[in-house]
Amino acid sequence: MKQQLHGRTTFNFLASLWIAAAFLPALAQPPKGPWMDKTLPPDRRAELLLEQMSLDEKMTMVHGEAGAGSAGRSLGGAGYVAGIPRLGIPDIQMTDGRSGVANAGGRGRYATALPSALACAASWDPKVAYEFGALIGKETRDLGFHVSLGGTANLIREPRNGRNFECFGEDPILIGKMLGRALKGTQDQGVIGNINRYAVNDQETGRRVGNAVLDRRAMRESDLLAFEVAIRESGVGTVMCAYNKVNSEYACDSSYLLTDVLKKAWGYQGWVMPDWGAAHSTVKAALAGMDQEMPTGEHFGGALKAAVLKGEVPMARLDDMVRRILRTEIALGILDNPISVRPVNPFTGAETAQRIAEQSMVLLKNANQLLPLGASGVKSIAVIGSHADVGVLSGAGSDQVDAAGGNTVPGGRAVWHPSSPLKAIRAKAPQSRVEFDPGVDLDAAAKLAAASEVAIVFVNQFNAEGRDVPSLSLPDNQDELVRRVAAANRRVIVVLETGGPVKMPWLGGAGAVLAAWYPGIRGGEAIANILFGEVNPSAKLPVTFPNSEADLPHPKMYAPAGFTVGEFTTIAGQLPAFDINYTEGARVGYKWFDAEKKEPLFAFGFGLSYTAYSYSGLQTAAGRRPVVSFRVTNTGKRAGAETAQVYVSLPAASGERFKRLAAWEKVPLGPGETKTVRLELDPQFLSIFNTEKDAWDLLPGEYQVHVGGSSRWTPLSRSMRLPGAQ
Catalytic site residues?
275
Residues 454 and 493: beta-carbon distance below 8 Å: yes
Residues 431 and 376: beta-carbon distance below 8 Å: yes
Q: In sequence order, which ranges of 368-450 are alpha helices (DSSP H)?
A: 421-428, 442-450
Angle of helix 346-360 versus helix 126-142 axis, rounded to 10 = 160
Determine how β-strand 194-198 pairs with β-strand 238-241: parallel
Residues 171 and 645: beta-carbon distance below 8 Å: no
> Strands, DSSP E only, in 504-626?
512-515, 578-581, 613-621
Three-state SS at 361: coil
Burial of 310 per CB tally in 10 Å (0-12, 13-18, 19+)? exposed
Q: What's the rounded Cα separation, in Å, for the pair 645 and 605? A: 8
Task: Residue count of the chain, please give it.
Answer: 726
| Residue 375 DSSP code | T
Bridge partner residues of 433 (DSSP): 380
- 577-597 per-residue burial string, b: 16 or more CB within 10 A, e: under 16: ebebebebbbbbbbbbbbbee
Sorted by sequence, the CB contacts under 8 Å of residue 134 that are 6+ apart come out as 185, 186, 188, 189
Closest residue by Cα to residue 278 from 110, 191, 109, 398: 398
Residue type, 63: H
CA dihedral 604, 605, 611, 615 (to 10 degrees): -120
For 306-322, the three-class secondary structure string (H helix, E strand, C coil) is HHHHHCCCCHHHHHHHH
Q: What's the rounded Cα separation, in Å, for the pair 46 and 319? A: 10
CA dihedral 240, 274, 564, 550 (to 10 degrees): 30
Residue type, 573: G
Q: What's the rounded Cα separation, in Å, for the pair 645 and 174? A: 11
Q: What's the rounded Cα separation, in Å, for the pair 64 and 80? A: 5
Q: What's the rounded Cα separation, in Å, for the pair 75 and 79? A: 9
Q: What's the rounded Cα separation, in Å, for the pair 168 and 154? A: 8
724 conformational bin, left if phi > 0, alpha if psi -120 to 50, beta if neither: left
Residue 598 Cα distances to 81, 505, 550, angstroms: 50, 17, 10
Sorted by sequence, the CB contacts under 8 Å of residue 594 that are 6+ apart come out as 657, 658, 659, 711
Closest residue by Cα to residue 632 from 672, 669, 674: 674
Bridge partner residues of 464 (DSSP): 396, 467
Determine how β-strand 362-366 pairs with β-strand 578-581: unpaired
Residues 601 and 503: beta-carbon distance below 8 Å: yes
Closest residue by Cα to residue 72 from 4, 13, 3, 25: 25
Q: What's the rounded Cα separation, in Å, for the pair 617 and 676? A: 9
Q: What's the rounded Cα separation, in Å, for the pair 709 and 540? A: 9
DSSP 661-695: EEEEEEEEE-TT-EEEEEEEPPGGGG-EEETTTTE
